[in-house]
Structure 1
Amino acid sequence: MPADPTGGYVTNPRQTKLLMTQDIGDVTRFMEGAEMLGTGLQVRRIALPKRDEPHVFQEWWEVRVFDDPHLGSREHE
C-alpha cells in the first residue's frame, strides 16, 4: 500500500486521521504538517497490551489530526 502523500488530508472537515506510532519522528512530522495546514491536532501517550502478551504493556503515541482546526479543541476551557 503506497504512503499517502497528503498525510491523510481529507476534504470532509469532520473526518480525522488516527496514527498510532512508537516513533517520535512520526509525531513530529504530523505536528509540523498540522501547523503548516492549520489543522487541529491531538497527541496522547498511551499504553496498550502487547498482542502476544496481554499482561505486558507498550507505550504508544496516539496522534489525531482534525481537518477542521476547531474540532480538536475543548469548547469549555
Structure 2
Amino acid sequence: MPDDPTGGYVTNPRQTKLILTQAVSDVTRFMEGAQMLGTGIQIRLVALPKKEEPLVFQEWWEVRVFDDPHLGSPDSE
C-alpha cells in the first residue's frame, strides 16, 4: 500500500476513510461494514505507476467510505 501518513483518514468530514489495497478481502470487509453501518461506499479499480518503475502500472482497489449513505452513490458526484 502506498505511504499514507494519515492512516487513510481524509480532511473531508463527510468522507471518513480512503484506502488503496490490492487485496479483495479488504474491499469485501469494507463493503460488509458499510452495509452493516448504513454508510456510503465507493469502490473503483485504478491503475497506479510503481515508484521504482514509473512506466509499469499496478491495479489497486480505491475504497472511499462516507458517513452519509447517499454520498457514495453515483448521484452525489
TM-score (norm 1): 0.77
Please give the residue correspondences for 1:14-29 in structure 2 after superposition, counting only pairs within 5 Å. Answer: 14-29=14-29
Q: What fraction of aligned residue pairs are identical, expressed as a percent?
A: 72
Structure 1 residue runs of 5 or longer lacking an equivalent are 1-7
* One-letter amino acid of the counterpart of residue 41, structure 2: L
TM-superposed deviation, 1:75: 2.9
TM-score (norm 2): 0.77
The higher-RCO structure (CA 8 Å, 6+ apart) is 1
TM-superposed deviation, 1:15: 3.1
CA root-mean-square deviation = 1.9
Instruction: Name segments (4+ residues, structure 1) moved above 6 Å.
Output: none
